[in-house]
Amino acid sequence: MITHVVLLALNDPADRDEAVARLSALPQSIPEIATLQVGVDTEATDGASDIVLITTHDDSSSLKAYQSHTVHQEFLSWLRPKLASRAVVDTNSLNSI
């Protein structure tokens, strides 16, 4: 299992709701997404991102298929001009403490 974590900071916070709605719709079109969680920053901490996306994929091939999927690419075309910054971590080991 691969966990894909993405932090998104938007140029305009007004784009947040549409970004969340578009992200939430991805699993309907992309079968390589095993699970998807999306959340928004509620504390407005200095330096915080606006949106967190966490998806899981059966393996690296599934993650790559998701990333190259036409629907994901269309979302990225919409999103990129609206991004102030983005950070990504892909891991196959998350530890609970």
Counting residues of the chain whose pLDDT is more than 70, the rounded percentage is 100
Question: Hey, what CATH topology would domain 2-86 get?
Answer: Alpha-Beta Plaits (3.30.70)
Q: How far apart are CA 88 and CA 44, in angstroms?
A: 20
Task: Locate the domains of the chain by residue range.
Answer: 2-86
> Given strand 51-57, what is the order of strands in its sheet?
35-40, 51-57, 2-10, 83-91
Please tell me the distance from the alpha carbon of residue 87 to that of residue 66, in angstroms, as a whole number.
Answer: 17
Task: Express each pLDDT in 40-82 by its tens digit.
Answer: 999 988 889 999 999 999 999 999 999 999 999 999 999 999 9
What predicted TM-score, i.e. pTM, was given to this entire model? 0.92
* pLDDT over 80 at 17, yes or no: yes
Nearest partner of 3 among 80, 81, 62, 68, judged by Cα: 62
